[in-house]
A and B are shown apart, each in its own frame.
Chain A
Amino acid sequence: MAEQITVVVVDDHSIFRSGLRADLDDSVLVVGEADDVDSAIAVITAAAPTVVLLDVHLPGGTDAASSGGAEVIRRTAALVPGTRFLALSVSDSAEDVVGVIRAGARGYITKGSSGSDVSRAVHAVAGGDAVFSPRLAGFVLDAFGAAGGEIASTDEELDRLSAREQEVMRLIARGYAYKEVAATLFISTKTVETHVSSVLRKLQLSSRHELTAWATARKLL
């Protein structure tokens, strides 16, 4: 961690931005801030940071069907290919969280997380890993019908999780850290990360009907 990771913080609350900025480790350097969709796109393309800490709900979105955060990812992903997005939200609605992950975010943490937690998540995302909170793991298990006993027969199958991936997700949902998951399943931490990334990929690529249907069913309106 010799070199600092560059971060852009996108949130429409200046209090939250400054609070987060003060809480982050020295290993993380905030190179830009933005408070709505358009300014976020401008700042991200100009600064091309390693990681964007992105609020799920942002003002100024043009697409009513998705949250502002998801729109920022969709409109900037092609412009700054090296940048990774970490969703940061107080929202607990499954629709918003899954929406922003499907748009391309590499993880989701709640705003209640401490500064060191956020810093650790930023490092993980910058290193190419996915960051799953217990709650997101729960959403994922639900969306893939894991409780109904659906298991993918091959790893290539996008619409279901493999047995191992389900085990990993279950342990994360139970509050286990990656290291603890690895110890419990007698696999390496790296393997856990591989599984998590694979789940993230499935979540983003799957055309599974329930992902959308279920998100619609939980719509606020």
Chain B
Amino acid sequence: MTVRLMQGNEACVEGALKAGMKFYAGYPITPSTEIAEISALELPKVGGKFIQMEDEIGGMATIIGASVAGLKSMTATSGPGFSLKQENIGYAIIAEIPCVIVNVQRVGPSTGLPTSPAQGDIMQARWGTHGDHSIIALYPNSVKEIYEITVRAFNLAEKYRTPVILLLDEIIGHMREKIDIDDNSKIEIIDRKKPSCPPEKYLAYAVREGEIVPSMASFGEGYRYHITGLVHKETGFPTGNENVAEELVNRLTSKIENNVDDIVTYDEYLLEDADIAIVAFGATSRSAKKAINDLRAEGYKVGMFRPITIWPSPEKQLLELSKNVKRIIVVEMNSGQYFLEVDRIAGKNTLVEKYGKINGDIIKPEEIEAIVKEGHNA
């Protein structure tokens, strides 16, 4: 057992390496830069490769290519770079190429407030790339959880053959805290399924009976197939056929939406007897926990629901929560992005309120306490 002080961004790289990351491409941007730096140092030691690309678009394109060649791949960025990556994220979605994109959020739009924390990319993570699609986005709240959730991001990318977005924020990315890195023998590692048929029988985009996604051959292994951002047939070659188009887009969405129970994870804190629930994630959930402890000491029955899987949203759990509490307050460092989703799900059963902040400052526990008390006396 080795207990260490570790930075969030460092834990992300450690988790990625644990998951089997062998390739990183990107363009450094604060507050994500340590992820690139540490990947550059560590990947050669495990036979992996690091490339600093000419820009964020190139970084995203390159991890897609590396993943097609069979390597578990990751890139990391912040707001401005996340915007640039969106087109290629769409490509990875339609071509079903597993990869992990880390976004250590800072204040935007554009270069915004370098490099103060924000949680303003919740909706961009969901709808940043165009067209109908589903997405997996995860958001840990501690250094230890960054390590674990990074492993999970890779696992989900491999299992569902899809890009997975790992959301962090400047606070948890740059923060250092205690982690026990060796206590990970139980961690499951998932690898993409490879085809078992001979190369001449391989249909790159055919889903075998009982499986969720097509098996994936790596380029260079003798399996020849076509990859495109166009709507394609099972062979991978493009088609304009309406039925194929509808079927493909539906399959890409439903492989995620039909498996929310597998994908969704969350944390509940003191909700058993609560009549007020705070919904918070990332750094804000740590402020919320402190606020809840202080409010509990004053007799308020308040608890927290913390989605770790942001997308697909924990719809079932939020719906259940809405039946058990009188108020839900969504607290986030933006002007109400996840509130929209929580209100959509829970708003018909209970009062859903928002508290946001967009000036680069962390939401303090006192602010959350004030909001809870204010509404309570009203």
Is A bound to B? no
* B-to-A contact residues, CB < 8 Å: none
* A-to-B contact residues, CB < 8 Å: none
